[in-house]
Structure 1
Amino acid sequence: MTGRDPFLQANGTMKNLLGIESAGELAVAEADYAAARTVQMREGSAPAATRGNFDLAHLKAIHRHLFGDVYEWAGTTRAEPLTIEGRTVGQPPLLMKGTTTFEAGNRVNARLEAAFDRLRAENSLQGLSREEFSQRAANLFIQINNAHPFREGNGRTQREFMLQLAEQAGHPLNFDPISQERMIVASYDGIQGEGSTMRRLFDEISNPDRVAVLERGVQYLEGARQHGARWEEMYVATTTPGREYNGQLAAKGEGFFVMASEGDVLVGHPQDLPEGHGRNVTVKATEFPSEGGGVQIGLGRDLDY
């Protein structure tokens, strides 16, 4: 890309409606506004366009509602004409984050329209078992993320879109105990054509019994911050029934244990720990015991992946 990026101020901070010049201050303000707008959507007081149709217009409406207080281009994809500060400007043809290059801007809308046409043909994933829903929903999430239709705010927009889709399909999701590192890994794998990481993630966050155990493990890890540990920067997942794990036990509490295995942090149920175990353990994971109730939907953290 040549020339100045039309989205950025001279100091590199995103141009915004709030007149903020510090990137740090902008990130805080953006998070606060988006969190408030998220509450409106979940309470049903947001514009009707932010719910229900599960098409490109719906996705754009969610983005516009979440970020319209901060960016005048909110709700505009990378394939569409862009107005910033009263001027129509050309959008960069490519979007890169780190070493990852997303879909070319001029192909974004067509790719998403095709994905949403398939979704409509599949009755918005209604009438499926939880397992089948989680796999198809993960594949859709990968397709939307690979397109990365907006310059900023893709992660939060995708998450709200998927939460609504899951609620309507009868299989609620909970992204709250998913670490930033895990989402980054799953998203990167999806871009590389490997969808199993994201499908595992969706299988977990659609399963209320696994989510309950994962949340207990995350609460323990949150408490470990005083020792310098940041669970958001770790790959944290639940054990997969039928698999065997070797590693070091970090903690055991009521209804959960946490262990380190092959560079990951795994959360499982104490029923799988061997009798008389020490710090080094071998765990054969079994099905998580049913605790009743549904998956709790929280606001989540203000992260984009």
Structure 2
Amino acid sequence: MTGRDPFLQANGTMENLLGIERAGELAVTEADYAAARTVQLREGRAPAGTRGNFDLAHLKAIHRHLFGDVYGWAGTTRAEPLTLGGVTVRQPPLLMKGTTTFEAGNRVNARLEAAFDRLRAEGYLQGLSREAFSERAADLLIQINNAHPFREGNGRTQREFMLQLAEQAGHPLNFDPISQQRMIVASYDGIQGDPSTMRRLFDEISDPDRVAVLERGVQYLEGARQHGPEWEEMYVATMTTGREYRGPLVAKGQEFFVMASEGGAIVGHPQDLPEGHGRYVTVQATPFPSVDGGPQPRLEHDLDY
């Protein structure tokens, strides 16, 4: 084995089955293939093994299905022998992204198998209240992410795994209005030993009333991106019941409002806005009301940051 990373071409682009040499082109192509395979997963048209067992083989099957069109190593964890171009090579012992170092490669499978053994012993989180499920599911996602079993595609694989687990447990999740920045922060905090950020995220995406209001706010931010940053680059979250918030209003609709916060935005329901409020408000968050999940409500006020 040489010192060269076996996953990378000489120019630094990931080795791939399509012969793509430019990183930008590869990223777009990979996303397109994975999106099409995701539809198959969610419609039940994926191969056997990509649903149901919630073990390491299940996780690997999801990764193989999502990325097998692009990478010859799809479905192979960092703990397993890697064959590229007919040659078996040893994988790098460590995986770093930015300043984060994930689980050592030779320990990945054992760590995940222990996590999935516990999941099985807990009855795959069935029969729990929504609150208990969301907390335990958040902790499981942190464990899987900390192991980071695959060289690329971990986030999308984990999301599909958790969506299936939640569906079976009777507490569906909705990751759609969770920004990339928020997931990065929650994942980083989890690696640092703080599960609270991920638990809050799961409490939102498992609550249909709360996540519906979050979707309203994200729809606004997505439509207003020409006036500000991409919503994916912001930390966007809903208000937590019982907490007080102060800040400038960005927008207000019939069933949502958006308040600017440091580095992102907070989304709430107009029932909490004080009567006769101005642009700068103080809000005491109350439980979110039931919503019908219908079309985007009419925007009443649109205020720039």
TM-score bucket (shorter structure): over 0.9
Aligned residues: 294
Cα offset for 1:264?
Answer: 3.4
Cα offset for 1:41?
Answer: 1.1
Cα offset for 1:277?
Answer: 0.8
Correspondence list, 1:1-305, <5 A: 3-291=3-291
With over 3 angstroms needed to count, the CA separation of the structure-2 counterparts of 1:267 and 1:293, relative to structure 1, is closer
Where has structure 1 moved over 4 Å in runs of 4 or more? none
TM-score (norm 2): 0.94
Tell me if the contact between 1:49 and 1:61 (Cα under 8 Å) persists in the aligned partners.
Answer: yes
Letter in 1 for 2:111: R
Letter in 2 for 1:13: T
What are the Cα deviations for residues 101-158 of structure 1, in whole angstroms up to 9, with x where unaligned? Answer: 0000000000000000000000000001111100000000000000000000000000
TM-score (norm 1): 0.94
CA-based RMSD: 1.4
Determine what percentage of the aligned residue pairs are the same residue.
87
What are the Cα deviations for residues 72-109 of structure 1, in whole angstroms up to 9, with x where unaligned? Answer: 10000000000011111110000000000000000000
Tell me if the contact between 1:257 and 1:270 (Cα under 8 Å) persists in the aligned partners.
Answer: yes
In structure 2, C-alpha distance between the alignment counterparts of 1:228 and 1:143, rounded to whole Å: 34
Letter in 2 for 1:103: E
**What SS does structure 1 have at the residue aligned with 2:140?**
helix
What are the Cα deviations for residues 232-275 of structure 1, in whole angstroms up to 9, with x where unaligned? Answer: 10000000000001111111011000001344310000000111
Of 83-92 and 143-152, more deviation after overlay is shown by 83-92
Cα offset for 1:292?
Answer: 5.0
Tell me if the contact between 2:67 and 2:74 (Cα under 8 Å) persists in the aligned partners.
Answer: yes
Tell me if the contact between 1:216 and 1:256 (Cα under 8 Å) persists in the aligned partners.
Answer: yes
What are the Cα deviations for residues 30-89 of structure 1, in whole angstroms up to 9, with x where unaligned? Answer: 111111111111111111100000000000000000000000100000000000111111
Cα offset for 1:20?
Answer: 0.4
Letter in 2 for 1:38: T
What are the Cα deviations for residues 169-221 of structure 1, in whole angstroms up to 9, with x where unaligned? Answer: 00000000000100000000000000000000000000000111001100110
Cα offset for 1:291?
Answer: 2.0
With over 3 angstroms needed to count, the CA separation of the structure-2 counterparts of 1:268 and 1:119, relative to structure 1, is same
In structure 2, C-alpha distance between the alignment counterparts of 1:244 and 1:87, rounded to whole Å: 59
Cα offset for 1:293?
Answer: 7.0
In structure 1, C-alpha distance between the alignment counterparts of 2:133 and 2:65, rounded to whole Å: 27
Letter in 1 for 2:280: N
Letter in 1 for 2:251: A
Letter in 1 for 2:211: V
Tell me if the contact between 1:82 and 1:90 (Cα under 8 Å) persists in the aligned partners.
Answer: yes
In structure 2, C-alpha distance between the alignment counterparts of 1:272 and 1:207, rounded to whole Å: 18
Cα offset for 1:224?
Answer: 1.1
Unpaired segments of 5 or more residues in structure 1?
A: 295-305
Cα offset for 1:285?
Answer: 0.2
Tell me if the contact between 1:247 and 1:262 (Cα under 8 Å) persists in the aligned partners.
Answer: no
Higher RCO, Cα 8 Å, sep 6+:
1
Aligned match of 1:299: none
With over 3 angstroms needed to count, the CA separation of the structure-2 counterparts of 1:263 and 1:36, relative to structure 1, is closer
Letter in 2 for 1:62: I
In structure 2, C-alpha distance between the alignment counterparts of 1:62 and 1:261, rounded to whole Å: 37
Letter in 2 for 1:133: F
